[in-house]
Amino acid sequence: MPTKATCMRHTEAPGQLEARMLKGRLPGANKDLLPSPGALPTPHRQDPEKNPVPSFSDPAKISSEDPQARAKPTTPQPPTRPRLERTLSLDDKGWRRRRFPRSQEDLATQGGASPYKGSEQDMAPPGPGPQLPSTLPEHIFHLPGVAAQGGCPSWELPEAGHPPGPQPRSPLACDTHSLHSAKSFFSLLAPIRTKDVRSRSYLEGSLLASGALLGADELTQYFPDRNMALFVATWNMQGQKELPPSLDEFLLPTEADYTQDLYVIGVQEGCSDRREWETRLQETLGPRYVLLSSAAHGVLYVSLFIRRDLIWFCSEVECSTVTTRIVSQIKTKGALGVSFTFFGTSFLFITSHFTSGDGKVAERLLDYTRTIQALALPRNVPDTNPYRSSAADVTTRFDEVFWFGDFNFRLSGGRMAVEAILKQGLDVDVPALLQHDQLIQEMKKGSIFKGFQEPDIHFLPSYKFDIGKDTYDSTSKQRTPSYTDRVLYRSRHKGDICPVKYSSCPGIKTSDHRPVYGLFRVKVRPGRDNIPLAAGKFDRELYLIGIKRRISKEIQKQQAMKNQNPSTICTIS
């Protein structure tokens, strides 16, 4: 049975207990902290000998001294449950009181002094919302296993007065590969709700627009300008078992200031050890990338490497193959298509090896027609815009399409005419060569690659070289140098694909073809979580092998440098 004192305690209105505790400590407490009618009086805290406080355990004294102070009999009520709140550390509280400049403010300041050049003590002007520092803390960009890795950063600090363009990806002061670490910083601002974690399966996600895994909020955190960097390359390896000692020129060309978000490599007449080829790709790209998917059709290979923090936003990867002509049990002419959806944008990558021969243009046109009709994609992943799709052309069923490979279209006019132009040295008239290009002529007629475009060509023909040399075919066949290796693109929305660089790799000489690559900026749109996701799958075994090999080579390189710089011993005579 609860005592009367307990009953009295529960009859107090909210805040009266605090008023009694504070009364007598603050000046003017008698005026400011007045009890509500019917509440118990709260005497000042004075000397108990001069003004003794009546004991609540003695009801007789209360009734005799002040009849109005009698407590009305009430039913005991359980105490109010405390409200559970997230406890913030001092650091968290400090971050919440600061403000992080928005992208619009950063663009406005690019013409003047960059706000990122100040110290971390500099604060942005007060404004609505949580206030954050104008410079992200240093530790965000130095996570274990990230900062010590090789490769060029994809995002840089915007320089003062930097002209607008595709070079700096975002005003956020972080590189592309450290955004997943910056997300942990942003999580302090918007704690993840328990119900969101429960409803998100990472297999198909939630159809709710708020907090969608593939939605606009998530997309903006990774790509503030909604543009991703894409690398697409093609190489006819001529079936050579020997791989180049280094693939840096191929995958990490010096012309590219930043590494890309997605690498797609297509190979024709690939080497016999496909696993070794993929391991070399992983070793070159380093630990920031993982093999999302790989497929093969005979000696046609396609490998997709993506930034490891982006694997959660990819759908299942689907592939399909087409055989146009069987050369042997291993070698085939045909096509290999790979498709998937990234956020709300669907991609299709096709690598092909068309019929060879200077005069077999009609056969190559037939190879193209068979490919667009026979590639059965997509399968389980829904079309992002089925109203603009055609059952007779696979390239109409995707938002962004890249078609690359050894198309075998040649330069007409004979070898003598082509060599006369090539002998001009460094000032080779490439437009004059392209006037004889069979592929450009057929595209103008509309007989092949309808709706496709090709970046401007500024490099020399990629075929046919003597292996290990820079000279074109010196055998008795005297094949005409040609642009057989190409990268083409098509988009449902005009302007979604912007070519940045289109070139070849003259330093890789292990085949009679030179690799050809293209760098692109592709617009990505938010999507809905109604697609089957890849659930973060990647080739973990290949990842570990490639990284271990990279580390061992780095150790050997450092050891070699130590051996080349022996310590100097000074002798005194």
Question: Does residue 300 sit in helix, strand or coil?
Answer: strand
Distance of alpha carbon 149 from alpha carbon 145, whole angstroms: 7
Which DSSP letter does residue 243 get?
A: P
- pLDDT in tens for each of the 573 residues of the chain? 544 444 444 444 444 544 454 444 444 444 444 444 444 444 444 444 444 444 444 444 444 445 454 555 556 665 555 554 444 444 444 444 444 444 444 444 444 443 333 333 333 333 444 444 444 444 444 333 333 333 333 443 334 334 444 444 443 334 444 444 444 444 444 566 677 666 665 555 454 555 688 989 899 999 999 999 999 999 999 998 889 999 999 999 988 888 999 999 999 999 999 999 999 999 999 999 999 999 999 999 999 999 999 999 999 999 999 999 877 666 679 999 999 999 999 999 999 999 999 999 999 999 999 999 999 999 999 998 888 899 999 999 999 999 999 999 999 989 999 999 998 877 899 999 999 999 999 999 999 999 999 999 999 999 999 999 999 999 999 999 999 999 999 999 999 999 999 999 999 999 999 999 999 999 999 998 888 999 899 999 999 999 999 999 999 989 888 888 765 555 554
Distance of alpha carbon 160 from alpha carbon 26, whole angstroms: 53
Long-range Cβ contact pairs of 291-296 (< 8 A, separation 24 or more)? 291/538, 291/539, 291/542, 291/543, 292/317, 292/340, 292/534, 292/537, 292/538, 293/317, 293/319, 293/338, 293/340, 294/539, 295/319, 295/321, 295/336, 295/338, 296/270, 296/336
Buried-state track 223-244, b at ≥16 Cβ within 10 A, e below 16: bbebbbbbbbbbbbbeeeeebb
The first and second tokens of residue 547, run together, are 């990284």
**At residue 396, what is the residue type?**
T
Q: 257 near 522, Cβ under 8 Å?
A: no
Q: What is the pTM of this model?
A: 0.66
Domains, the chain: 216-550 (3.60.10.10)
N-terminal to C-terminal alpha carbon distance within the chain:
102
Beta bridge partners of 323: 334
Q: Measure Cα distances from 550 to 235, 307, 354 in Å.
A: 23, 17, 36
Contacting residues for 393 by C-beta, under 8 A, at least 6 apart: 372, 373, 450
The first and second tokens of residue 340, run together, are 């998937």
